Structure 1
Amino acid sequence: MSELINNREQLTVDKSTDRKVLLKTVFWDLFNGKDPEEVKAFADEKIGKVTVEEIMELSQYQHDVLEEKALSKSELERISAAHLSIMEGNIIEIENPKDIPGHPVHTFHRENREIESLLESKLLPLKEEFEKEDSPANIYKLIDVCNLLYDIDKHFTRKEQLLFPYLEKYGINGPSVNMWRLDDYIRDAIKDTKKQLTNYNGDKEAVLSTLHYIAEQVTTMIYREEHILFPMAMSNLTEDEWIKIAQESDEIGYCLTGPATVWKPERADLDSKALTEGFIKLETGLLSLNQLELIFNNLPVDITFIDHEDIVRYFSHGTERIFARTKAVIGRTVQNCHPPKSAHIVEALLDDFKAGKKDSEDFWIKFKDKFVYIRYFAIRNEQKEYMGTLEFTQNIEPIQAIEGEKRILSL
């Protein structure tokens, strides 16, 4: 990766790479702290309008560099904001389906309009009221707005769990890390504001500062999505892939609104048939594919299997999953299925399994109204070779509540 961490003076220019080098120069100037106004003047003069494809290439370059540098939150935000301010207004727009009701991008746009409306009609006016008077009534109103705004988690989760995997498939990894981190910062800020307001201690400035941060970052994220991410996805994803995204979006849910209608594309050649009735001979029995899937899906636990190359190969699909899973994760590396801030824990656990240092690991956490027991098992063959990892997740809250004995059927 060290070859990416060069100073701008080391970049060579020729006819074919001129614009690429200039775009990288803009990035390095911002990275090194040069005045954004000077950098913008340089970009306007030397580069002018940029295409989605150019932004896509630059996004991948930035991803590689920023991963190597392991920037702090403030540095990542500074560079991202400065870079966006320079690109703003210079991106060549491409046609996208924001006017095709039911298409996932149309739904993302609908949600963004509702989010903007919530900011403009409630959060910002209440912020001004709170600044004048931090009364209990104004505090309660702001808590209600934060509860509504946290619905943005569903918007972000669909983007991260459905859209990012397909972009990765086409070698576009920048959004999976950089944008996901920024999404997490927004989520954390909303939760922090709720805590500040719920346990209000008179520090008005701290609340106002966080509210300002939320409004600014959410507005900026909407611009990133609609002018960069969605056009980038539209340039690469096939209609079949968009159909899959639309089909799996319901499982995660929507933010403040939902699809305008069911999207019915002119061509949809996905095979929606049930599993064929082939049979699998096991050591202790014979099952049809349909029976096998029904067994897995009716277990009172969630199961996910990751193969020896860290690729997600299977997950059970019960009626009440604890953590959302979509079919888009199949074929994706498990590290990219977790938020960047927790990916290193997954990596360390898999390394221990592969090295034979551990055969299992358990975690237990409070999640919403559940007490979740998460177990990981290293799967090995007869020769003790590592074949993959089984994740086993269960809500044990009802089990913990059991007392005495039960020896008769329920009525």
Structure 2
Amino acid sequence: MSVDEKRVERLIEYTKSLLDGGDGKALYDQYCSDIEHVKPSEVFDIFYHLLQEGRKPKSILLCLDKVINVFYKSLINYAWEKPSEDDFINNLLAENAALVMKIEAIKKIIKLENCVENRVLLLEAISELKLFNEHYLKKENILFPYLEKRMPKFQGLSIMWSLHDRVRQEIRETIEILGNVTSSEKDINQKLGMLIFSMLGVLKKEELILIPVASEVLEHTEWNAMYKQSFEYDFPFIEKPEVFLPDAVTSFSVKDGIYKTETGSLTYEQLESLFSAIPVDLTFIDAQDKVRYFSRSQERIFPRSTAVLGRDVRQCHPPESVDKVLEIIEAFKSGAREKAVFWINYKAHKVWIQYFALRDQAGVYIGTLEVSQIVDEIISIKGEKRLM
């Protein structure tokens, strides 16, 4: 066993002891030498081990900030080099810098004499923070899949996804408390403090751990692909860079052949146009629970990037909801269910989400189809509107 492997084992012991309520100072003294030499990549080893033991991301969050703060000195001094194709990273870092400026502006409003009287300014500023969700989506839908394909330990990214979800929730709660005229100045300040702490905490973990590790393990072609895919998302708080047209979803062309069935035939060009035109989002997961296809409708509801192709469905959902998704898929595989339906409110729209079990002619399960559709117009229909 190498020196690094031994250090990681001891750091795992240290982190587990903290999680289990051990004395922080005594533990630091015991593992001080290891803590002072921890590397960003080893942080992934530590938390991946905890997940493998069956600990949930939500429980790990209870001591995550404490652990990262202890590791801070070593992580901040770690030397790493940006890849030559670093525009994707540069944009993430620029968005982070812009977020810090937004938060500093919010802090100035908070310092005004009466926070309650300035709730309108605060409500406007906090509502603007919702735009930063695009930054989190680029990490979840582009960067995370590339890392997960590299090695198992990057399943630990589910912990950062949980942090994103916590920020999203805290933004909603802060907007709610600011919009409530009965909220006290104390309540408002407390909620604002929690939100700012969470957002800056994610930023710190991203810049001290995630980005340095990604820079070490990903290659030129991957950075180039991620940069192109990032243009399917917004660039919060910074000027949008030069636009790249997305690569075609399929490599087939008309001369490759014609898709034939008993009910008709289509060229591949027609088939692709058909999937792009129908007003629903389609995502196909194969029998091994891997994402194999998604449609590019004209106004896609939920962002999808080609980085997700080949990704395990377990990494495509927030940790808090993935168990429900797996439950549905297992029911499809066993034949206990053929369909599951949900509806949610999303960006001022009512979205209808359906999961269908797909089977071959012999009835054998071959995958799951997710279909999402905005149904505002449908549920508002009254009377009739005939063709003639």
* TM-score when normalising by structure 1: 0.85
Q: Deviations over 1:282-315 (max 9, x none)?
A: 2222322222111111112111111111111111
Note if contact 2:36-2:71 (Cα within 8 Å) is conserved in structure 1: no
| Structure 2 residue 324 is matched with structure 1 residue 345 | yes
For residue 253 of structure 2, what is the amino acid of its counterpart?
T
Note if contact 2:282-2:294 (Cα within 8 Å) is conserved in structure 1: yes
Report what 2:181 is aligned to: 200
Report what 1:210 is aligned to: 191
How many residues are aligned here?
381
Instruction: Show structure 1 runs of 5+ residues with no match.
Output: 1-12, 264-269
| Cα offset, 1:119, TM superposition | 1.0
Note if contact 1:111-1:258 (Cα within 8 Å) is conserved in structure 2: no
Report what 1:156 is aligned to: 136
Instruction: Show structure 2 runs of 5+ residues with no match.
Output: none
Give the alignment's Cα RMSD to 1 decimal: 2.5
Q: Deviations over 1:76-97 (max 9, x none)?
A: 3331111101110202221125
For residue 26 of structure 1, what is the amino acid of its counterpart?
Y
For residue 57 of structure 1, what is the amino acid of its counterpart?
D
Note if contact 1:62-1:174 (Cα within 8 Å) is conserved in structure 2: no
CA distance in 2, matches of 1:406, 1:16: 71
| Structure 2 residue 76 is matched with structure 1 residue 76 | no
Note if contact 2:85-2:224 (Cα within 8 Å) is conserved in structure 1: no
Of 177, 187, 192, which aligns to 2:168? Answer: 187
Note if contact 2:234-2:240 (Cα within 8 Å) is conserved in structure 1: no
Of 265, 282, 293, which aligns to 1:303? Answer: 282
Alignment of 1:239-278 (within 5 A): 239-261=220-242, 275-277=252-254, 278=256
CA distance in 1, matches of 2:96, 2:379: 41
CA distance in 2, matches of 1:16, 1:93: 17
Seen in structure 2, the aligned counterparts of structure 1 residues 236 and 202 have a Cα distance that, compared at 3 Å, is same
| Cα offset, 1:259, TM superposition | 5.0
Note if contact 1:161-1:328 (Cα within 8 Å) is conserved in structure 2: yes
For residue 216 of structure 2, what is the amino acid of its counterpart?
S
For residue 105 of structure 1, what is the amino acid of its counterpart?
I
CA distance in 2, matches of 1:321, 1:14: 48
Seen in structure 2, the aligned counterparts of structure 1 residues 289 and 200 have a Cα distance that, compared at 3 Å, is same
CA distance in 2, matches of 1:36, 1:262: 49
| Structure 2 residue 374 is matched with structure 1 residue 395 | yes
The residue matched to 1:69 in structure 2 has which SS? coil
Identity of aligned residues (%): 29
Note if contact 2:283-2:295 (Cα within 8 Å) is conserved in structure 1: yes
Report what 1:167 is aligned to: 147
CA distance in 2, matches of 1:231, 1:338: 24
| Cα offset, 1:348, TM superposition | 1.2
| Cα offset, 1:329, TM superposition | 1.3
Seen in structure 2, the aligned counterparts of structure 1 residues 356 and 174 have a Cα distance that, compared at 3 Å, is closer
| Cα offset, 1:162, TM superposition | 0.8
Report what 1:9 is aligned to: none
Q: Deviations over 1:231-259 (max 9, x none)?
A: 11111112211122111112222221145
CA distance in 2, matches of 1:330, 1:275: 17
Of 332, 336, 340, which aligns to 2:315? Answer: 336
The residue matched to 1:350 in structure 2 has which SS? helix
| Cα offset, 1:393, TM superposition | 1.5
| Cα offset, 1:198, TM superposition | 0.7
